[in-house]
Amino acid sequence: MEMTAKELAAALGGTVEGDPEAKVSSFAKIEHGRPGQLCFFANPKYEKYVYTSKASVLLVNCDFEPKEKVTPTLVRVPDAYSAVAQLLKVMAERKRKYRVRRSLRSRIACSAKLGKQVWVGDFVTIGKKCRIGDRTHICDNVTIGEGTVIGKDCLIYPGVHIFPGMVIGDRVILHAGCIIGDDGFGNSRQSDGSWQKIEHLGNVIIGNDVEIGSNTTIDKAPMESTIIADGVRIDNLCQIAHNVVVGKNTAMAAQCGVAGSTKIGEGVIMGGQVGVVGHINIADGTTVCAKSAIIGNIRKSGQTLYGNPAIPNQTYLRAYAKFKKEGEE
C-alpha cells in the first residue's frame, strides 16, 4: 500500500493539516513511527509521542488540539481508532487470495457444493452435502462435517473443527483451533452414582460478521440450537455451552465461560475470565468487569458489574474501600 495524506483523507472523510502529498506505505504504533509510516493517536496517555513521532502521517481526532509542534502531517478524522481499523481491514482484504484452489491433498465430498473463488488449503476435509459460500477461504487442516452450511467471504484458519450440521453466516472469522459444535457437558446422575451421557442432536447457528478466537469452543445443543447472533466478538480460549444464546454485538474477552441455556442480551461486554452460571438471563448493554462471576439474572440493562458474585460496580468499589480501610487498621 502506498497512499498520500490527501488520498487517506478522501478515503476516510477527513481533512489534511500539513503536506497533502506526504506518502505512507506501512503502519506502526505511534511510539515507533518512522518516515513513510502511518500512525494514529486516539488514547490521551500516548499524547507525548505525538510530539516526538517521526511518522509521515498521523491520524488524529478532529477535536485534537496539539500543545507543542507536531512534525507529521495530520489527517483529522471523526474517530482515529475506527479509521485505522477501517484501513487495516482494507489491507487485509487485499492480501486475501480470491482465486479458486482445491488442494489435491484435501478430501472434498462429491456432494459438497463450493461457491465461486473458494480457497481450500491442504489436508482439509469437507463432508457430504456441505455448502460453502463464494470467496470463503479455508486454511490447512480444517474439518467441516457433513451437512454444514458456511456463508460468503468467511475466513477459517488452520485447525478449525466444525461438526456436522452447523450453520455459519457470511463474513465470519474462525481463528485457529476453535471448535464449533462439539457435544455439550450433559450428563444425568444415575441412582447408583454413575453418569449417563445425554446425547446432543442439535447444532450451532452463527450469524453474520462474527469473529471467534483461537481455541474457543462452542457446544451444540441436545435439542434445538446454540445461537451466536450477528456481530458477536468472542476472544481466545472461551467456552460457550449448549443452548446458550449470545445477543447481537456482544463481546467477550479471553477465558470467559458461559454455562448451558443462558441467554445473553445484545451489546453485552465481558472482561477476561468472566464466569456465568447456567439458565439465567443477562440484560442488554450489561458490562461485566474481568474475573467477575454472574450467578443470577441481570434484569436491569446498561449496568456495570464487578466482583464474585458480581454486583453493581459503584457498590463494589465502596465495599472494597471499606474492606481496605478496615484491613489497614
> For the domain that residue 300 is a member of, what is the CATH number?
2.160.10.10
Q: Residue 14 and residue 38: Cα distance in Å, rounded? A: 15
78-97: average pLDDT: 79
Among 137, 175, 200, 242, the one annotated catalytic: 242
**Range with the poorest average pLDDT among 49-58, 186-195, 313-322:** 313-322
- Residue 74 inside a domain? The answer is yes
pLDDT at 24: 92
Are 180 and 141 in a shared domain? Answer: yes
Are 158 and 9 in a shared domain? Answer: no
Are 198 and 168 in a shared domain? Answer: yes
Q: At what angle do helices 80-95 and 5-12 cross, to 10 degrees?
A: 100
Are 215 and 88 in a shared domain? Answer: no
Q: Where among 95, 113, 138 does a domain terminate?
A: 95
pLDDT at 140: 94
Coil/strand/helix, residue 291: coil
Are 219 and 87 in a shared domain? Answer: no
Q: Where among 79, 95, 111 does a domain terminate?
A: 95
Residues linked to residue 56 through DSSP beta bridges, in sequence order: none
Domain range enclosing 46: 3-95
Q: Which residue has the higher pLDDT, 148 or 42?
A: 148
Q: Identify whether the C-beta of residue 202 lies closer than 8 Å to the C-beta of residue 240.
A: no
Q: Residue 209 and residue 261: Cα distance in Å, rounded? A: 23
Are 44 and 161 in a shared domain? Answer: no
- Residue 328 inside a domain? The answer is no
Are 204 and 60 in a shared domain? Answer: no
pLDDT at 92: 72
pLDDT at 320: 80
pLDDT at 321: 85
Beta pairing, strands 269-270 & 287-288: parallel
How many domains are contained in the chain? 2
User: Has residue 99 got a pLDDT over 60?
Assistant: no
Tens of pLDDT, residues 283-326: 999 999 999 999 999 999 999 999 999 999 888 888 888 877 77
Q: Residue 20 and residue 84: Cα distance in Å, rounded? A: 18
Residue 281: which of 294, 271, 290 has the closest Cα? 294
Coil/strand/helix, residue 12: helix
Q: Residue 156 and residue 316: Cα distance in Å, rounded? A: 41
175 is catalytic: no
Are 229 and 86 in a shared domain? Answer: no
Are 191 and 67 in a shared domain? Answer: no
For 62-96, letters b (16+ CB in 10 Å) and e give eebeeeeebebbbbbbeebeebbeebeeeeeeeee
User: Has residue 274 got a pLDDT over 60?
Assistant: yes
Tens of pLDDT, residues 137-146: 999 999 999 9
207-229: average pLDDT: 96
Are 229 and 311 in a shared domain? Answer: yes
Are 66 and 154 in a shared domain? Answer: no
Q: Where among 42, 62, 95 does a domain terminate?
A: 95
